[in-house]
């Protein structure tokens, strides 16, 4: 009796163990096998060692299941000791019909992004950054109507940003920076979009006034070839807390109300913005960089409340407001760069001592700097503009 009972117990135990890892949907099981064959650990890693298909795939590193389906793949998770993966993303990824999250940490994944990803109708999070993904962004990603985060940054993607991406209704984060993308920036229609980062690409063309939603909080388009005015667009984005449009070819005025937005860092340098700059109230943005543009007129005293202010290499004229001197001497202003303009004076005593933690540069204006201060090397050695440049 006891022998029979023990034998039945062993059979039951075997069945339980078998069922424990056999309940995964067969399609998902086969898809994971294909994905595993196309990926390899980088030297020094054994991340994929747990992918032993004689055990439960839902216990594999980076695999998360609900019921009998894979719902998340976080491949090469550094918390599991992986320095990253190499290989390609197999098209079988599209067979994981319940997948809601797909991420691959920095490594050496190469090849193109498979079109089959567009079959993942429930995908909400797609992040494959700091790898070597090349080719175009598939137009078919526009079918992922539930996608909230798209992060393909720091890869080798080429071609344009598909207009279909901009139509995704639930997008909150789009991060495509540090690629080789070209063409124009498509309109983004999601009313929940909070972050758009397209810096360090080769994007060109202009931005329409209604091409970005007012929900944006962080916008980075620096190091591109974008052109045209943006004053009407920026005036609408009153939730911005970070704005970097530097190193483009934007033109036209900078709207005064922009300086009242809750921005912590405003980078508009090295463009072709022109005209006067007139904030409507004292500027509380800690860092404002408007250098290397074509801005003109008098410097507004509203800027004296900025901690780090870069107005150099423009066409500003007239006297430096007295409020700047007071705040500079009290070390409330840390950086005040006014070099390479057409300023005619500043009311500061030649014996005034600039606090050590503050920097002032006045050289190459239409005046002799009343105080000698250290300037950046790029400011050159000439203290004053030639007189013929300062007439009128």
- Tell me the pLDDT tens digit for each residue of 244-268: 999 999 999 999 999 999 999 999 9
Please say whether the beta carbons of 65 and 58 come within 8 A: yes
Q: How far is CA 264 from CA 52, 206, 217, in A?
A: 49, 25, 11
User: What is the rounded (10 degree) CA torsion for 238, 194, 152, 30?
Assistant: -160
- Tell me the pLDDT tens digit for each residue of 370-381: 998 889 999 998
pLDDT band at 365 (very low <50, low <70, confident <90, very high): very high
Candidates 249, 204, 239, 190; CA nearest to 219 is 239
Q: pTM here?
A: 0.91
pLDDT band at 89 (very low <50, low <70, confident <90, very high): very high
- Tell me the pLDDT tens digit for each residue of 296-328: 999 999 999 999 999 999 999 999 999 999 999
Average pLDDT over residues 218-224: 98
The pLDDT of residue 78: 67
Round to whole Å and give the CA distance between 36 and 192.
35
Q: Other C-beta atoms within 10 Å of 292: how many?
A: 19
- For 22, the 3-state DSSP assignment is helix
- Tell me the pLDDT tens digit for each residue of 104-159: 989 999 999 999 999 999 999 999 999 999 999 999 999 999 999 999 999 999 99
- Tell me the pLDDT tens digit for each residue of 55-83: 999 999 999 999 999 999 999 866 655 67
What proportions of the chain, in percent to the nearest 5, are helix, strand and coil? 25, 30, 50
* DSSP per-residue string spanning 168-217: -TT--EEE--SSEEEEPPPP---TT--EEE--SSEEEE---TTSS-TT--
The pLDDT of residue 79: 64
The pLDDT of residue 392: 65
Beta-ladder partners of 151: 127, 175
What does the mean pLDDT of the chain come to? 92
Average pLDDT over residues 6-31: 59
Beta-ladder partners of 227: 249
């Amino acid at each position: 009796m006891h022998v029979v009972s023990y034998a039945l117990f062993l059979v039951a135990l075997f069945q339980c163990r078998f069922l424990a890892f056999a309940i995964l949907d067969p399609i998902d099981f086969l898809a994971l096998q294909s994905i595993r064959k196309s990926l390899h650990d980088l030297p020094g890693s054994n991340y994929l060692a747990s992918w032993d298909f004689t055990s439960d795939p839902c216990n594999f590193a980076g695999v998360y299941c609900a019921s009998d389906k894979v719902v998340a793949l976080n491949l090469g998770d550094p918390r599991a000791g992986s320095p990253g993966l190499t290989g390609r993303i197999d098209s079988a990824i599209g067979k994981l019909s319940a997948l809601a999250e797909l991420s691959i940490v920095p490594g050496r994944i190469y090849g193109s992004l498979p079109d089959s990803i567009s079959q993942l109708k429930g995908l909400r999070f797609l992040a494959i950054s700091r790898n070597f993904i090349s080719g175009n962004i598939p137009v078919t990603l526009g079918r992922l109507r539930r996608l909230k985060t798209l992060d393909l940054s720091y890869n080798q993607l080429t071609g344009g940003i598909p207009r279909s991406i901009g139509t995704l209704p639930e997008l909150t984060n789009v991060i495509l920076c540090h690629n080789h993308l070209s063409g124009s920036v498509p309109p983004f229609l999601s009313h929940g979009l909070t972050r758009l980062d397209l810096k360090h690409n080769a994007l060109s063309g202009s931005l329409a006034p209604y091409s970005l939603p007012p929900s944006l909080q962080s916008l980075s388009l620096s190091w591109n070839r974008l052109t045209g005015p943006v004053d009407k667009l920026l005036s609408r984005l009153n939730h911005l807390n970070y704005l970097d449009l530097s190193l483009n070819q934007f033109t036209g005025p900078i709207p005064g109300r922009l300086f009242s937005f809750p921005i912590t860092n405003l980078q508009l340098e090295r463009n072709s913005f022109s005209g006067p700059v007139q904030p409507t109230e004292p500027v509380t943005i800690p860092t404002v960089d408007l250098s290397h543009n074509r801005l003109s007129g008098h410097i507004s005293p509203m800027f004296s409340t900025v901690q780090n202010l870069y107005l150099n290499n423009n066409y500003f004229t007239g006297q430096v407001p007295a409020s700047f001197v007071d705040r500079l001497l009290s070390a409330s202003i840390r950086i005040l760069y006014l070099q390479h303009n057409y300023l005619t004076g500043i009311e500061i005593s030649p014996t005034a001592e600039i606090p050590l933690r503050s920097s002032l540069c006045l050289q190459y204006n239409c005046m002799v700097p009343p105080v000698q201060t250290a300037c950046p090397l790029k400011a050159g050695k000439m203290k004053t503009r030639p007189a013929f440049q300062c007439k009128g």
